[in-house]
Structure 1
Amino acid sequence: MLLATAPGMLLPVAPGLLLPVATGLLLAVAVAVAVCAVLPGPPPLPPRLLLAALRRAARWHRRRLEVLGTDVRHSQERRLRGLLPPGTAQGSDDFRERHPLTGGCADGEQGDAVAPLSLWALLRGCWSCEPPLQGSLLYLDALHAAFPQALAPRSTALLSWAPARPRAPAGWPLPTLYCSPPEAGALPSRTAALRVQLLFALRARSLRVLEAGLASELHDALATLRSGWPELAQDLALGRLSPQNGLPEDLRGRLQELLVPDAARAAELRAECARGFEGIAQRLWPQLQVVVVGTAHGGERLYLDALRQAECKGLPLYCPFYRAAGALLGVNLWPEEPEPRFLLCPNWAFCEFLPCPAEDEEEQRTVLLGELWEGREYRLVLTARPGEYRCRAGEVLRVAGFNKQCPVVEPVRRESQVLSVRGESIPEERFCQSLCRAVGMWPGARLIDYVCVESSLLGASSGVCAPHYEVFVELQGLRDLSEGQRYKLDHCLQEDFPVYKSFRFKGSIGPLRLHLVGAGAFAQLREALGSPVPMPRVLREERLLAVIQSTVIS
């Protein structure tokens, strides 16, 4: 069925969804046309009308997703046809025969620069297959259903660094949500950007949502609060923005114009920080309902757990999106559940899966979205952009359940973050478990952060010993470790990984070397990454190795 919206413009609509659209979204759009007709150019929708239109569009997409989920094979075939050149689509079986599996996917943007939606961009987007808009609308719908006050104007603070170009926050179709100036996130310095955004967040006592692009960004912003709250309180009291490295003077002046002195809020900040930092987010923002983190799996999981136990204790932490290789693939529709699960949307990308453990890859055939089994793990093969076919995304997923025919998945590990110097293959999540077990044997110690290096990256500086791992850790409660304590980690790895133990016994893998780094070392490392990406747990670049080596204290 086709819906006529304007002269010469026809949009496809599922038959069962025509009436809600016609009576809801188009009514809002018609009013917007009348309101905006007297204004020059293509203005954005007025905030209240935009919210009403977006909520109706979100509900329409939610119902559409339910319809698509009743026949995922058909939905995937249609998506594949949209990704192939016109006239070449012969179905998924022919596609898999013609195109062999390729290596890693090309790097993509984690988020694109966006502008507030114009009237017709919103209307066209409601029927488009573009995942960024659909994902954000589904996020706004899920957030509002679970936390009805979360979409109040200026009630969301954003902590997110994007030095090259603005990165779209989760709720970008509704820019009136945010109390933080967008230019603050584009500063050249990550540390400066997070501090400025934190200052603007502290001004807004009535926050409902605290949002970060990565769990590590929220972790580092709240670490800045821990270490620098006296200066932040002083800036609040005086209504100023202190000079700092990475904050250009002209931009500092423009941002400072948005500040006003607030002695009462500064006094409240001092009082709450003096009480300690457990549950500080809820105490500083009494109306805070949820913490939203764009990416919190893989190397970011450690920070999510730390936030849940300390600064954000008592608050739900919601991870709304699942991305792989720069493509948006799934959405979390369950904000109040403690463990993030993502519904793979069948019209966002064409997905294939290689069952784990891997068989002979020369003979192994991929399975499709509607052929997965609950409880099994799969490696993801992705076709998300025209011309980039059947790319290994480097992600392993576990199927946690189904919503109609759509699988609900949990990310398990990143294949690029596997440790292996002799083919022993120690995944990042299992290495972290062994490390945490070893740290538990060191009295008074608590793990803050870690990163690993394979000795081949060290070159001649690794000496003439057998290939081995080098591990850099930041600890709380210890400034040094004895040789016996350092050996505990190697011993835990031998207990947890028989293949590693066998290689260690034969001498073909040398003993692990453990280094302690100073406080703030990993914030420096994340700054050196140069872009907001999930924290790597295995370093592959010499320049990053040099950064972490320079912070070693023991």
Structure 2
Amino acid sequence: MNAETEYGKTYNFSEIKSREDFVQQHPLTFISHYKSYVDKMMEGKDDILTKDKPIIFAVTSGTSGTSSVLPMTQRQRINFFVQGVAVVYHSMLQAFPDSRKLQKSLKFFYTPRWRTCEAGVPVGPNSSSPTNTRQLLNVYSTPKAGFEILSEPEALYIHLLFGMKDKHIGMLEANFSSIILSSFKALDIHWKDIIEDIEKGRVNPNLKIDDDVRNELDKVLKPDSSRAQELREAFEGGPIGLAKRIWPNCHLMLAADSGSFELPANILRETYCKNLPIYSPLYAASEGLLGVNVWPLKHPSHYLLAPKSMFFEFIPVEHCKEDQPATLFLDQVQLGEEYELVISTAGGFWRYRFGDVVRVTGFYNQCPIIEFMYRQGQFLNVRGEKTSESSFYQALSKACESWSDIKLVDYCCCESILIDDQGSSWKSYAPTYYVFLELDGSGKLTAEQKNKIDEILAEQSYVYKSFRNKGSIRPMVVKIVRPGTFKELREFTIETTTASANQYKIPRTLKRKEAVNFVLDRVIKGD
């Protein structure tokens, strides 16, 4: 159907009769390949990449690299619902029968700031937001007026206020587990004010929101001293298991918990959401639906690829450095192997290397089941060693096991080339990794505890160990940052990039010098 588009004519789509023809005739592509075509579409020109007109131009988060714009068609949105949301809902009902009860959900998501391109099409994030789920807003605890608040701190306060007011909340939801964790961190600060609002039946007068929104919210609040007392008693028990004390009938947390979200998910499991199952339902991106998790009770989360949503190809990781490596099809991948995913989408991106690396963990009939590993570019690579995000996190997690009373709150890394002060010693000219840790605990890490991360990484990675032994990479530099740094980094990133609050991903490997300097400014003095 796209043979007569400008792109289809350029690449002779009319001559393609099989998947083999497609691979032989069309090169592997990166995002830069599509910019001129997307620019034309945003100007209002038709039949460029696809016959279907875009319904939005999706802006990627930019937190793990450079932000990009991708066209999204109605066909993709329908596929996302039919192949993704509907399947997940069925799986959720089977695994968690209490989901059938008529309970509200507390969903932490925010209305993005949209713009309109020359073609009159909205431009903004493609992640779940109040804008693209208007038909479902009634199932959430936040009144519709609350979703009109565009500033995140105020909107979050309203989410928490109405969520805590409803004792019978059945589910906590967000795109990512990190959003739910940061929401509980905000609750640590504001819970007394929120309880006072519930007791008095009003929205906090110090909250900076429009009067018309405030009036609508005040209409649905009534003084509730009984609920206020229940909440005070819930908070007396501390953070461990807090969610179940606030909402005794809550049966599920719905949020992504794999990749860079594994750490915040694990913190939630150990603290606020202890004894509350976490279900990571979808493997998705701005490009659309990639996979569904039909095993809600299994951990770590695995996803069944969705071949009716996209056409998949796979590049063995050992060939990722090549510009045009040979690819494998769905029926050719091997169990236990890691691959860079290549996708062709209904939005007109063909044989597109969008950066995700996955591991095949099994097969459902003939369709691969995968585990997300890391994003290309989210690795440390000062000497060609390419230490992946997952490899570094495994080493860090193992080192954390020896920290008796100190818990890891969050972390990120960068390559020393982004650090200005390299010292005066000739040895310092060898590159290294800078690691920034935010800790929860009264103690401090000893030099030995910090060095343990480097030692374990060398044990796990032969390539890293060889460079360390030769002195080509010097010992990693571990810095402790002050509490709240990663919350502030999130706010800084949202303010200075195109990322929205709904799609922010924790950048485990910092690539922007501005972000590096931001974190460096928050290193605890003397550390």
TM-score relative to the length of structure 1: 0.75
Q: Does residue 506 of structure 2 align to residue 544 of structure 1?
A: no
Distance 1:512 1:237 in 2: 51
Corresponding position: 1:461 with 2:421: yes
The SS at the match of 1:391 is coil
Q: Counterparts of 1:239-250 in structure 2 under 5 Å?
A: 239-242=201-204, 247=209
Q: Deviations over 1:70-126 (max 9, x none)?
A: xxxxxxxx9999996774542211111111112358894579xxxxxxxxxxxxx99
How far apart are the structure 1 equivalents of 2:202 and 2:433?
47
- Structure 2 matches for 1:14-413, cutoff 5 A? 87=14, 89-104=16-31, 108-109=58-59, 130-153=79-102, 155-164=104-113, 167-168=127-128, 172=133, 174-182=136-144, 184=146, 187-242=149-204, 247=209, 251-293=213-255, 295-358=256-319, 361=322, 364-413=325-374
Structure 1 residues 79 and 267, CA, compared in 2 at 3 Å: closer, same or farther? farther
Which residue in 2 is equivalent to 1:417? 378
Contact 1:188 1:247 in 2 (8 A): no
Tell me the secondary structure at the aligned position of residue 291 of structure 1. Answer: strand
Q: Distance in 1 between matches of 2:437 and 2:3?
A: 45
From the CA coordinates, give the structure whose radius of gyration is larger. Answer: 1
2:242 & 2:2 partners in 1: Cα distance?
A: 45
Cα distance between partner residues in 1 of 2:83 and 2:258? 22
> Amino acid of the residue matched to residue 204 of structure 1?
D
- CA-CA distance at 1:159 after TM superposition: 1.0
Cα distance in structure 2, aligned partners of 1:81 and 1:344? 30
The answer to whether the 8 A contact 1:316-1:338 is kept is: no
Distance in structure 1 (CA, Å) of the matches to 2:129 and 2:88: 11
Which residue of structure 1 aligns with residue 469 of structure 2? 505
Q: Is the 8 A contact 1:292 1:320 kept in 2?
A: yes
Cα distance between partner residues in 1 of 2:106 and 2:210: 22
Which of 452, 455, 458 is residue 413 of structure 2 equivalent to?
A: 452
Offset, 1:352: 0.5
Q: Which residue of 2 aligns with 1:517?
A: 481
Task: Give the 3-state SS of the residue equivalent to 2:183 in structure 1.
Answer: helix
**Deviation of the 1:382 alpha carbon:** 1.0
- Give 1:510 deviation, angstroms: 2.6
Judged with a 3 Å threshold, the aligned counterparts in structure 2 of structure 1 residues 109 and 152 are, in CA distance, closer, same or farther, namely farther
Question: Shift in Å at residue 246 of structure 1?
Answer: 6.6
Distance 1:367 1:229, change over 3 A: same
Q: Please, which moves more after superposition, 253-262 or 327-336?
A: 253-262
1:472-487 equivalent positions in 2, closer than 5 A: 472-478=436-442, 480-487=444-451
Once residues 30 and 324 of structure 2 are traced to their aligned partners in structure 1, the CA distance between those partners, rounded to angstroms, is 16
Return closer, same or farther for 1:405/1:538 CA change in 2, 3 Å cut-off: same
Q: Which amino acid aligns with 1:401?
A: G
Identity, in percent, stands at 33
SS in 1 for 2:387: coil
Structure 1 residue 471, shift from structure 2 partner: 1.1
CA–CA distance in structure 1, aligned partners of residues 236 and 76 of structure 2:
52
Question: Counterpart of 2:479 in 1: which secondary structure?
Answer: strand
Could you tell me how far 1:360 is from its partner in structure 2? 7.7
CA RMSD of superposed structures (Å): 3.2
In 1: Cα distance, 2:76 partner to 2:319 partner? 39
- Higher mean displacement: 137-146 or 168-177: 168-177
Q: Can you list the C-alpha shifts for 1:329-357, whole angstroms capped at 9, x where unaligned? A: 11112223333221212110111111233
Q: Which residue of 2 aligns with 1:63?
A: none
Residue 307 of structure 1 deviates from its aligned partner by 1.0
Q: Answer whether contact 1:159 1:185 (CA < 8 A) is retained.
A: no
- Return the alpha-carbon distance in structure 2 between the equivalents of residues 87 and 413 of structure 1: 36
CA 1:154–1:175 in 2, change beyond 3 Å: closer, same or farther?
Answer: farther
Distance 2:182 2:436 in 1: 18
Could you tell me whether the CA contact under 8 Å between 1:324 and 1:393 is conserved in 2? Answer: no
Q: Is the 8 A contact 1:399 1:409 kept in 2?
A: yes
Deviates further, 381-390 or 340-349: 381-390
SS in 2 for 1:470: strand
Residue 199 of structure 1 and its aligned partner are, at CA, apart by 1.4
Tell me the matched-pair count. Answer: 462
Higher relative contact order (CA 8 A, sep 6+): 2
- Would you say the 8 A contact 2:400–2:408 is kept in 1? yes
Counterparts of 2:393 and 2:344 in 1: how far apart (Å)? 31
Distance 1:499 1:472 in 2: 23
Deviation digits for residues 441-471 of structure 1 (CA, Å, limit 9, x no counterpart): 344211111010111222x334452221111
Q: 1:504 to 1:334 in 2, by over 3 A?
A: closer
Please say which of residues 515-524 and 220-229 is displaced more in the overlay: 220-229
SS at match of 1:130: helix
Gaps of 5+ in 1: 1-77, 112-124
Q: d(CA) in 1 for partners of 2:513 and 2:386? A: 21
CA offsets, 1:465-513, max 9 Å, x none? 2221111101122453343433332233333323223323333223322
The secondary structure found in structure 1 opposite 2:354 is strand
TM-score where L is the length of structure 2: 0.79
Structure 1 counterpart of 2:44: none
Q: How far did residue 366 of structure 1 move?
A: 0.9
**How far is 1:416 from its partner?**
1.9
SS in 2 for 1:235: helix
Q: Is the 8 A contact 1:279 1:314 kept in 2?
A: yes
Structure-2 residue corresponding to 1:16: none
Output the CA distance in 1 between the equivalents of 2:192 and 2:468. 50
In 1, Cα distance between equivalents of 2:3 and 2:284: 19
Gaps of 5+ in 2: 35-56, 62-73, 115-124, 495-499
Q: Retained in 1: the 8 A contact 2:412–2:437?
A: yes
